Amino acid sequence: MDIKIEKVCTDDELKSIAVLANEIWHECFPGIISEQQIDYMVEKFQSYDAMKAQIGGQSYSYLGVYDGGELCGYIGIKPEDDERFFLSKLYLRSDKRGQGIASVMLKRVFAEAEKAGKKTVYLTVNKHNDHAADVYKKTGFTIKALTVTDIGSGFVMDDYVMEYKL
């Protein structure tokens, strides 16, 4: 395992993240949300155009996760105006799971949050995404709230809000 985590700087890198996001979302979310909702959310939040707008206008950063030079995961983060740091995305291709790479990814998120002078990291995770919620709990996140967010076109996100104190 030779993990490197690097900030996405070029359009080509962001396009590669969009291709990977599409692959991972269609692999991991069936059974949790419908195929129609997956298509809708990938287009709205994880397409190249959507991520480009998040980076350009909403202070998001994306980080690529590479194993032996091969892109296999990604992280989306955003500092809030207050003391919180938002972990928006934490995604790893299925063949790379179960090897502790997520712990390396989360350490990097905490380091970025500390560098930004923040006190907490928060995220939302689907209430039925048991494995991800277990990984977050094991890392020290606790459930702070339950939310149902209308994301348009008749779809909702049914999430836990989880928080980690730095």
Ligand X SMILES: CC(C)(COP(=O)(O)OP(=O)(O)OC[C@H]1O[C@@H](n2cnc3c(N)ncnc32)[C@H](O)[C@@H]1OP(=O)(O)O)[C@@H](O)C(=O)NCCC(=O)NCCS
**Residue number, 8 or 133, with CB nearest to ligand X:** 133
Residues numbered 29 to 88 that lie near ligand X (CB under 6 A) are none
**Residue number, 8 or 28, with CB nearest to ligand X:** 28
The CA distance from 159 to 32, in Å, is: 11
With contact defined as beta carbons under 8 Å apart, do 60 and 54 qualify?
A: yes
- Choose which of 15, 78, 97, 108 interacts with ligand X (CB under 6 A): 97
Q: What is the separation of C-alpha 2 from the centre of its chain, rounded to a whole number of angstroms?
A: 21
With contact defined as beta carbons under 8 Å apart, do 113 and 166 qualify?
A: yes
Residues numbered 8 to 27 that lie near ligand X (CB under 6 A) are 24
Residues numbered 103 to 122 that lie near ligand X (CB under 6 A) are 103
The CA distance from 164 to 149, in Å, is: 21
**Residue number, 117 or 147, with CB nearest to ligand X:** 147
Cross-strand pairs, 155 = 152
Query: Which one-letter DSSP state was computed for residue 153?
Result: T
Residues numbered 127 to 146 that lie near ligand X (CB under 6 A) are 129, 131-132, 134-135, 138
The CA distance from 123 to 112, in Å, is: 15
- Choose which of 18, 21, 42, 90 interacts with ligand X (CB under 6 A): 90
Q: Where does this chain bind ligand X (CB under 6 A)?
A: 24, 28, 90-92, 97-103, 125, 129, 131-132, 134-135, 138
